[in-house]
């Protein structure tokens, strides 16, 4: 909240006092509504990121296509990069069959029209018949567009060591 201190003397005329009170109230309401929309944005982006992970798990190309921005880029912990087209082609091929593709410890931070999701991802399944089972941290960046939030950039850590 922004505090405004205005010196108007003994408040003469009355209109000056009324104006100061109105400005302070408007600023207070504005900051409250912005805070409320930030919470709504956090919930919307969290749900969208969860929806995206579910789409990857089921190789749902249509949902992935809708959520990913056209200029999307993913950078893995090994330094490999993937575009939107790469991920959609991978899903179409169905080379990956997931038993698990879920995240935990999800945290969303919103700054205006940009949101970053961090979470711990557990991926388990098969790739061309070969089993995989790993966890890694990721950060997903979303940007608000005229048509809604879009996933624009992802960065994943290296696979975490197995813990006993």
With a cut of 80, say whether residue 4 has pLDDT above it: no
Neighbour count for residue 139 (Cβ, 10 Å): 16
Listed in sequence order, the DSSP H helices in 58-121 are 61-67, 84-93
- Which secondary structure element, helix H or strand E, spans residue 47, and what is its range? helix 14-57
With a cut of 70, say whether residue 77 has pLDDT above it: yes
**pLDDT tens-digit series, residues 93-103:** 999 999 999 99
**pLDDT tens-digit series, residues 8-55:** 455 555 444 444 434 434 444 344 344 447 999 999 999 999 999 999
Nearest of 94, 88, 138, 142 to residue 115 by alpha carbon = 142
Per the model's pLDDT, the better-predicted residue between 70 and 1 turns out to be 70
Q: What is the pTM of this model?
A: 0.76
pLDDT for the residue 164? 67
pLDDT, the chain, mean? 85
pLDDT for the residue 13? 55
Task: Band the pLDDT of 75: cuts 50, 70, 90.
Answer: very high
CA distances from 19 to 11, 22, 57, 79 (A): 10, 5, 57, 58
* CA–CA separation, 87 and 69 (whole Å): 12
């Amino acid at each position: 909240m922004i505090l405004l201190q205005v010196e108007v003397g003994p408040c003469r005329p009355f209109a000056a006092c009324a104006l100061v009170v109105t400005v302070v109230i408007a600023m207070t309401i504005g900051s409250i509504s912005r805070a409320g929309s930030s919470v709504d944005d956090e919930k919307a982006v969290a749900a969208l990121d969860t929806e995206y992970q579910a789409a990857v798990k089921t190789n749902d190309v249509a949902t992935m296509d809708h959520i990913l921005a056209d200029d999307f880029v993913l950078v893995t912990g090994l330094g490999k990069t993937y575009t939107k087209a790469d991920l959609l082609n991978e899903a179409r091929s169905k080379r990956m069959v997931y038993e698990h593709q879920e995240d935990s410890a999800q945290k969303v931070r919103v700054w205006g029209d940009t949101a970053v999701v961090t979470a711990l991802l557990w991926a388990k399944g098969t790739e061309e018949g070969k089993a995989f089972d790993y966890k890694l941290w990721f950060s997903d960046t979303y940007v608000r567009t005229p048509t809604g939030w879009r996933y624009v950039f992802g960065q994943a850590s290296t696979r975490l060591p197995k813990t006993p």
